[in-house]
Amino acid sequence: MATGFFRIAPRGPFPFHSGHVKIVILDAYTANPGDLDWDGLAALGQLQMHDRTPADLMAKRAADAEILLTNKTVLNANTIERLAKLRYIGVLATGYNVVDLAAAGARGVPVTNIPSYSTPAVAQMVFAHVLHLTQHVAAHAEKVRSGDWASCPDFCFWNQPLTELSGRTFGIIGLGQIGREVAQIARAFGMRVIAHNPRPPRTLPDGIELAGLGEVIAESDVLSLHCPLTGANHHLVNAKRLSQMKPSALLINTARGPLVDTLALAKALHDGEIAGAGLDVMETEPPPADHPLYTAPNCHITPHIGWATQAARRRLIGVAVHNVKAFLAGHPQNVVNADQLA
């Protein structure tokens, strides 16, 4: 998809008059549960916010919206076609699969996203999982709390293996901004970094070795996913590829849940094909109470929070405001359906 900066000629009843444009946020709570503000958007028009919007209230809440913002609330073709006043859709996230881009484009409605806002936060979450799996900090702390160290005849106590990262191989699939940030941190730990990218990157940071997908999967002690979800890479990590990983390897997924075949991963963990997994994303979110990975050994799941530091969410809101300002000025930025606009 084309992205970035371009100028458009306004369609329909334009221009917007400052302070009069109707701005609706369909699901404001996840980006801002109350520790930030939406003042920047409120200054641009008549702002209406909803914590969450169920499907049966979508048409009513969005009916008069000229500028419509969504995080995970789905805007399908039928909804977009029914919103007569709609002129702009802003996705409050990097991924934009919740919007039918072609339907928006056919209406001449640009769709924008928020790129790069969460890079430091997601990279930090990657290594939260890596260190959790290699140092077992929480498990050891609980053993101390339960008295195991107090009753130990030695000055120290551990009941799970401790793994040193230095000298190990860190594999990355997807060398976008987050993948590169993760690579820098892995190198700081003294790790060898190998990476696979579907297209050769224009520039390759020092210390990263490009390799084929099979090589990255087979050689990695830690395999971390950082690629967008596409039709071609659905279940990229499947039963066959899990069987090609080292039995001592760890899988980290902070990208998109459907990159990993859930049932195949559960089986691989039960069978000892890999040593552990750290996941911040799942195929279904939230996952059901009987999810097979809940009982898989050494599988640790966080509830899709890698992006959610206050600093990252503040950046997200700032870019969202900037995107709306740019649209109102006639030169939308971060547009993800530029090649589909009528």
In a domain, 7, yes or no: no
Q: Which residue, chain included where needed, has tokens 């709306």? A: 324
Q: Are residues 137 and 262 in the same domain?
A: yes
Q: Are residues 262 and 185 in the same domain?
A: yes
**Per-residue model confidence (pLDDT) at position 18:** 53
State the total domains in the chain.
Answer: 2
**Residue-number span of the structural domain to which 215 is assigned:** 119-301
Active-site amino acid positions: 256, 285, 304
Q: Are residues 325 and 200 in the same domain?
A: no
Q: Are residues 140 and 219 in the same domain?
A: yes
Q: Are residues 253 and 316 in the same domain?
A: no
Q: Are residues 258 and 270 in the same domain?
A: yes
In three-state secondary structure terms, 238 is coil
pLDDT tens column, 95-153: 898 999 999 999 999 999 999 999 999 999 999 999 999 999 999 999 999 999 999 99
**Per-residue model confidence (pLDDT) at position 200:** 83
Q: Are residues 145 and 191 in the same domain?
A: yes
Res. 85: pLDDT tops 80: yes
**Per-residue model confidence (pLDDT) at position 16:** 54
Q: Are residues 50 and 132 in the same domain?
A: no
Q: Are residues 74 and 157 in the same domain?
A: no
First to last CA, the chain: 15
Nearest to 68 by CA among 24, 31, 28: 24
Prediction pTM value: 0.89
Nearest to 341 by CA among 14, 64, 82, 88: 88
The structure tokens listed for 69 are 């913002």
In a domain, 236, yes or no: yes
Q: Are residues 265 and 214 in the same domain?
A: yes
Nearest to 12 by CA among 111, 109, 112, 89: 109
In a domain, 63, yes or no: yes
In a domain, 41, yes or no: yes
CATH of the domain at 101: 3.40.50.720
pLDDT tens column, 277-319: 999 999 999 999 999 999 999 999 999 999 999 999 999 999 9
Q: Are residues 51 and 175 in the same domain?
A: no
